Amino acid sequence: MYFITENSDLWEGVFSDICVIETVVFMKLVYSVFIFNLLTNIMTGQLGKMHSEEDLKKFKEQVDQTIALGRDAIIATASKAVSDDPKSLIKDENLHVSVYYNEMRVKVIFMERSPIIYLSYLSDSEFYLKIGVFVYLDKVTGLEASSIPDEYSTGFSLNRYIYRATKEKEIAIDKVLALNNTNDDMYHINKNSINTIIRERESFYAIQIGHSYPITYKLDKKSGKIYDYKDPYADFYPSPASPPYMIPYGGEWVEMKE
């Protein structure tokens, strides 16, 4: 047992420790309050209040000016930022193009909708399934994209493109479908199997069905043997919850259909 007096060195050490603990607790509290307020602002759509009324008015005017150009002109501007051949991009039947706007921005979304995506072995390119392009008048002001993850990517110096279905890829997909000729529902895929990615490897094909919690397995190139089957949903009960909805920066998006 310790008896602590006003002149005790031990008391000074205890007092110092208490100060450190209180400081840490206080900083954690401040950080927690900051994060809470930030998330609250985002979820309630109040982040725009970080801008002055004059700024918000200017953003709205820019949106109105851009919308006045028309949907086709907006898409033409955005397509130049994601393709060397924008005309073929717009005409691609497997590519869905949509235009949205809110109080602060105009966005064009290019989204690949081929049921099956095929990635060749050791490709020096990275592909996107979805690209959002922010447009102001005839200028591109920003990009956001969802890439197709591939652990065999060769590095940061990749060529980056939105995925496009081609005749060569269709032939390669047909080859995999013929090899994977099982009728077992666990492994069976066909040309209408949505959200399916085939990644070619040196000796096998890596099959992925779904995105967030995908079913995966491997298909031997020579024998067609299926192995390493994994179903993450088998380990979830109940099914994993979806993340909470958050109001977009600048307010809800409105689709521009014509």
Is this model's pTM higher than 0.75 or not?
no
pLDDT at 108: 95
pLDDT tens digits, 162-201: 888 889 999 999 999 999 877 777 778 888 787 899 999 9
Average pLDDT along the chain? 77
Task: Check: CB of residue 219 under 8 Å from CB of residue 179.
Answer: yes
- Please list, residue by residue across 101-121, b when 16 or more beta carbons sit within 10 angstroms of its beta carbon and e when fewer do: bbbbbbbbbbbbebebbbbee
Task: Tell me what percent of the residues of the chain surpass a pLDDT of 70.
Answer: 71
Task: Check: CB of residue 213 under 8 Å from CB of residue 195.
Answer: no
| Sign of the alpha-carbon dihedral angle for 18, 21, 27, 30 | negative
Count of CB atoms situated within 10 Å of the CB of 237? 7
pLDDT tens digits, 5-63: 444 444 344 334 434 334 444 454 445 545 555 555 554 455 445 678 888 889 899 99
